[in-house]
Structure 1
Amino acid sequence: MPRKVTEGDAVLAMLGRGAHPIEPFPGTQLPWACRCLTCNEVSAPRYNDVINKGTGVCNKTCRSLKIAAKLIRDGANAAAVMLSYGWETLEEYPGAGKQWSARCVHCGVIKPKRLSHVQKGRGGCTNCAGRDVTDETARKLMSEADLEPLVEYPGSMQPWLSRCRRCSHIGMPTYAKVRFRGHQCWSCRSGKISETLRLDDQEAISSMLTGALEPLVPYPGSTDLPWKARCMKCETVLDPGPALHNIRGLQGGCPTCAQRGINPAKPGYLYLVVHDGHHALKWGIANSEQRVIQHASQGWELVSRWDFDLTGDAWAYERQIKTWVRGQGVPQALTVDQMKYGGHTETASLRDVELDHVLRYVESLTSRRPNG
């Protein structure tokens, strides 16, 4: 039967290991408040852990120093470990857990690395992995994809206002999509789709009739070209008529009896309107004058507009304006209930942004003065 440990024996045992008890002995299995004779800090080791398991009597400063001592490496040894993971160190070893300036042996980029991170597999080179992107490197990639950025690099996943060098149209591709898929342009893509959708005369006529449109002239030979036709619902003659790819895309064809939307391949405009009552600014795009008339009926006043041969180009500028405004921390000013004809997400309070400031930005962005 094990001998019972008396308080006197326990105190002598703890003193012999560098700790002075400051409370009565609670037993071998309970925490016992002791003051470390080395660092003078108080901790609560268990007598049984100290005597039978060999744990230390201090879990404060002394314990931290012991752990640090175990982690100390010879500088040459540490540098060799870094080199084995692809990093050439550029300064003396700073110690465990500290940043260490090193150069990637594969691409030459210099990064602050931690030895512990590198050893755990978290020290890979982000530049070699393609995750380090500067404005210069991003523009180079865009240029190689026949795209000319018109604003500063916004980030890999953000729309980037750019001009297509193949067809001169404006778009908003992301750097990430261009990097993985190459050239991105809605206009060039439309041309490819038109080629894919090319039909013979009989198939083309059948598609028009399915859309309740009676062709009045022979098929023009392309799904992207307007085709003169008569609406079979209201007898309206459409000249120029709708493009076949719009009909096959279920976008409707007759402006008199079909629900209308914005056609990016047709002329349109970018506009700015203000509302005195809401003290708000709104930007938007449209194919027809009806859009501004709708806003005017709700108390909005036209400030400026910029005409474009293709509404798709105006749309790209509209998205960039929104990115720029929201990037300044300006939230939308109105709710869906306050906008009968839609467009609440393209609004901002004139208390948060100056109208003249927005006008100057749009003029600089589009490189043109407003048409009205």
Structure 2
Amino acid sequence: MSSPRYNDVVNKGTGVCSKTCRSRKIAAKLTRDGAKAGAVMLEWGWDPLEDYPGAGKQWSSRCIHCGAIKPKKLAHVQKGRGGCTNCAGRDVTDESARRLMRDADLEPLVDYPGSLQPWLCRCVRCDHVGTPTYAKVRTRGHQCWSCRSEKIADALRLDSEEAIASMLEKALDPLVPYPGSTELPWKARCMKCEAVLDPGPTLHNIRGAQGGCATCAERGINPAKPGYLYLVSHDGHQALKWGIANIEQRLAQHVSQDWELVARWNFDLTRDAWAFERQIKSWVRGQGIPKALTADQMKYGGHTETAYLADISLQLVQKYIEFLTGRSPEPPQEA
């Protein structure tokens, strides 16, 4: 059944059927001969591997330049949107991504996570563990926080008088000559509490916002000092949390809020622990698991490194950390 308008039939010649017949006419106009369709694909650099499936359907074809097999649509190819992503360098495999990272003196420690995701790697030049992204390394080359810090330290190198003046401004009295680098610890005495800092703070931190005396400082993390990665749980919130610190006060703060220590992993440098902390967060969030708590629920901060125990088990996270840090040779099963 159809209900055409008299005016359309007489003046426009569109016929009496506005549905089935009209659709057939449109389909007939769009129908292509298989040979002609194949010729169009070849003209644009694609060799069809099967008979023409029809307009608007995926057509398995091989790129005549690199041999990559892709599902293409004839309409897209005709409009210039059917280029080969492999030829363009946008197809990245775990193997090719690892090759690029190794060429940039970075050794991946986990599987390729995606071009814009943090990728846990070890710097071949300085042995630092960090989390650069594939996209940034591909664009800018070698990416390492530790190597970069050394370059910055060289640029900021001071003479002895300027270095001593910087220490005195922070109420620190140097007890030994200037070590010659902004990244080397400098033994000093705090002029406020008389505590002897050995190893002392680095001049890089002194000239920043971190201060110098850990005894006087209320909080803060010194990446150049020994630290630890920890895992805690909370029965009331039914949640777990991971984090890093280099002062015992940090764990004491969580314990005072009814968190229980599950495990702790010590590191010679807190900055290495930070790299693992970031990788854990990427791994948990990559499974679609959201943070469990809000800032209001965490008196001492750290709510972004939480997850509900209903979403991921405590044992699984602990096993993953053991694997990342080299304590366990086998990776855990996914959540």
Q: Which residue of 2 aligns with 1:327?
A: 286
Deviation at 1:235, TM superposition (A): 4.4
Deviations 1:236-268 (A, max 9, x none): 443322111112222211223334311222211
Deviates more, 1:309-318 or 1:237-246: 237-246
Q: Are the aligned partners of 1:99 and 1:113 in contact in 2 as well (CA < 8 Å)? A: yes
Q: Are the aligned partners of 1:169 and 1:313 in contact in 2 as well (CA < 8 Å)? A: yes
| C-alpha distance in 1 between matches for 2:208 and 2:172 | 14
2:142 is the alignment partner of 1:189: no
| C-alpha distance in 1 between matches for 2:316 and 2:178 | 49
Q: Which residue of 1 aligns with 2:256?
A: 297
Q: How does 1:1-372 map to 2 (within 5 A)?
A: 41-42=1-2, 44-368=3-327
Q: Are the aligned partners of 1:147 and 1:183 in contact in 2 as well (CA < 8 Å)? A: yes
Percent identical across equivalent pairs?
Answer: 77
Deviation at 1:334, TM superposition (A): 2.5
Deviation at 1:346, TM superposition (A): 1.6
Q: Are the aligned partners of 1:252 and 1:260 in contact in 2 as well (CA < 8 Å)? A: no
Root mean square deviation of aligned Cα: 2.0
Deviation at 1:232, TM superposition (A): 4.2
Q: Are the aligned partners of 1:252 and 1:259 in contact in 2 as well (CA < 8 Å)? A: no
Q: TM-score, normalised by structure 1?
A: 0.82
AA partner of residue 192 (structure 1):
K
Deviation at 1:233, TM superposition (A): 4.2
Q: How many residues align?
A: 328
Q: State the structure with bigger RCO (CA 8 A, min sep 6), 1 or 2.
A: 2
Unaligned runs of 5+ in 1: 1-40
Deviates more, 1:259-268 or 1:229-238: 229-238
AA partner of residue 167 (structure 1):
C
Mark the CA change 1:276 to 1:72 in structure 2 (over 3 Å): closer, same or farther: closer
AA partner of residue 154 (structure 1):
P
| C-alpha distance in 2 between matches for 1:53 and 1:351 | 65
| C-alpha distance in 2 between matches for 1:277 and 1:46 | 71
| C-alpha distance in 2 between matches for 1:103 and 1:351 | 46
| C-alpha distance in 1 between matches for 2:135 and 2:232 | 34
AA partner of residue 285 (structure 1):
I
User: Partner of 2:115: helix, strand, or coil?
Assistant: coil
Deviations 1:98-156 (A, max 9, x none): 22221122222111111111112221212222222222222222222222222222211
AA partner of residue 82 (structure 1):
M
| C-alpha distance in 1 between matches for 2:219 and 2:230 | 19
Computing the radius of gyration from Cα coordinates, the structure with the larger value is 1
AA partner of residue 223 (structure 2):
P
Q: TM-score, normalised by structure 2?
A: 0.90
